[in-house]
Amino acid sequence: MQSDNNVYYPGPWDDWERRKPQQVGINASRLDEAIDFCIAHETTWPTDMAAHFQESTESHNQVIGPIKDRGKINGLILRHGYIVAEWGDTKRVDMTFSVSKSYLSTTAGLALDRGLIKDVHDKVKDYVHDGGFDSPHNAKIAWHHLLQQTSEWEGTLWDKPHYADSQGGQEPDTALQEPGDVYAYNDVRVNRLALSLLRVWRKPLPQVLNDEVMDPIGASNTWQWHGYRNSWVTIHGLQMQSVSGGGHWGGGVWISTQDHARFGYLFLRRGRWQEKQILSKRWLNLMTTPCTVKPDYGYMWWLNTNRQLFPSAPETSFYALGAGRNMIWIDPEHDLVVVVRWLDSEHADELMKRVLAAVT
């Protein structure tokens, strides 16, 4: 890890210094082997994203947000902030599925840092008055629960009932648990968090992310954050779209690999970019604290607690992960950020093992 007095930050957009692997303590031939391995193990998803969505057998599988055909496998590796490897089209804007959740989580962290949310353990009902948290069950839900996907929120949002997401393993008649007692990966509840944060910020979350994070870190203007055709609400007399925290039914963050790398580098640097502390260290600590009932999950970031998620990576690694194996891997121990798009999920750990074998 570099000292704070000697940290490199790239300029905006493509003003980013490239260094040869050997200049930053990486074996070039081993790194080439890792990249070749990655390229050889592209996801089996079709490039025609409409065809992929048509394969869904969920009961509420109707796509209600925009979708986009995917690109080819690509990736980028940073060491000490310098680009040491790129493969494929790293400027192509693609859907990124549940990596969007880590961007959504970031807008919650900014709300906490700005005092819009006083405490993550506050009840959401004390901030949001749109009926979504009025029932005796939902009234118990805190921001903490929504961020850890342990809320057990009950209801329907954007025509999707809370049990619509089969990833959570819930059926219509599944008995709800108390908030905090059980983890269930659930995009309806994630979207309920997005709407709740929109109510708190009172301006579109893409604008919040752009003004507070993406502009300050010099990201391009090519990224987008979509909601659904039916996810519009009126705030202060203005129509605003509530965005989605993934691409499950379309939408979500669409972004390039290079912009993902900037975002990941901000978190590698503990929320700091040059002279500005964009996100507090308090938030970084909260978001990487293991969930009691799901130790490899934090606040919409995946953790490598006990090296359970990826055995080949350090326990201190954390990740933004999305379907189609979209991945931002942040490795503070080796001062690395690795972004990969469209890798076969089964080969992610082996890729990490090969990348780390190149670090001398």
- Of 215, 243, 271, which marks where a domain is finished? 243
* Contact between 360 and 335 (Cβ < 8 Å): no
pTM: 0.97
152 and 163 in contact (C-beta within 8 Å)? no
Gap between the Cα atoms of 106 and 147, Å rounded: 10
On whether both 116 and 185 belong to a single domain, the answer is yes
Residues 221, 270, single domain; the answer is no
pLDDT tens per residue, range 226-259? 999 999 999 999 999 999 999 999 999 999 999 9
What average pLDDT score do residues 185-202 get? 98
Residue 221 has pLDDT above 90, yes or no: yes
* DSSP reduced 3-state for 87: strand
Do residue 48 and residue 82 come from a single domain? yes
Q: In the chain, how many domains are there?
A: 2
Percent residues over pLDDT 70 in the chain: 98
Residue 255, in any domain of the structure: no
pLDDT of residue 5: 66
How confident is residue 59, by pLDDT bands cut at 50, 70 and 90?
confident
Q: Is the pLDDT of residue 40 over 70?
A: yes
Q: With CA atoms as reference, report the closest residue to 247 among 182, 301, 168, 326.
A: 326
- Residue 4 confidence (pLDDT) above 70: no
97 within some domain: no
Please tell me whether residues 133 and 207 are part of one structural domain. Answer: yes
Which range among 38-42, 88-92, 160-164, 342-346 shows the weakest confidence by mean pLDDT? 160-164
> In sequence order, what DSSP letters do the residues of 126-185 get, joined into one string?
GT--SSTT-STTGGG-BHHHHHHT-----SEETTEETT--GGGT--TTPPPPPTTS----
Same domain? For 167 and 271 the reply is no
Verify that 171 and 212 share a domain, yes or no. Answer: yes
Q: Is 109 helix (H, G, I), strand (E, B) or coil?
A: helix
Q: In terms of domains, do 143 and 193 share one?
A: yes
CATH number at residue 155: 3.40.710.10
Q: Is the pLDDT at 73 greater than 50, yes or no?
A: yes
Report the pLDDT value the prediction gives residue 1, as an integer from 0 to 100: 45
CB atoms within 10 A of CB 346: 10
pLDDT tens for 100-143 read 999 999 999 999 999 999 999 999 999 999 999 999 999 999 99
- Which residues fall within 8 angstroms of residue 140, CB to CB, at 6 or more apart? 123, 178, 179
Residue 249 forms part of a structural domain: no
Residues in contact with 60: Cβ distance below 8 Å, sequence separation at least 6, in sequence order:
159, 160, 161, 164
- Residue-wise pLDDT for 153-176, tens only, equals 999 999 999 999 777 667 777 789
Residue 137's domain spans which residues? 102-231+238-243
Residue 251 in any domain: the answer is no
- Return mean pLDDT, the chain: 96
Same domain? For 116 and 210 the reply is yes
122 with 84, same domain? Answer: no
State the amino acid at position 19 in one-letter form. R
- pLDDT value at position 56? 80
Res 320 pLDDT > 60: yes
Work out whether the CA dihedral 310, 326, 193, 122 comes out positive or negative: positive
Q: Beta strand 82-87 with 94-95: parallel, antiparallel or unpaired?
A: unpaired
Lowest mean pLDDT among 162-171, 318-327, 339-348: 162-171
Place of tokens 């975002």: 263
> Which tokens sit at 132?
């979504």
Residues 157 and 57 in one domain: no
Domain contains 47: yes
Using pLDDT thresholds of 50, 70 and 90, give the confidence band for residue 58: confident
Instruction: Report the run of H or E that residue 262 belongs to, with start and end.
Output: helix 257-268
C-alpha to C-alpha distance for 218 and 309, rounded to whole angstroms: 31
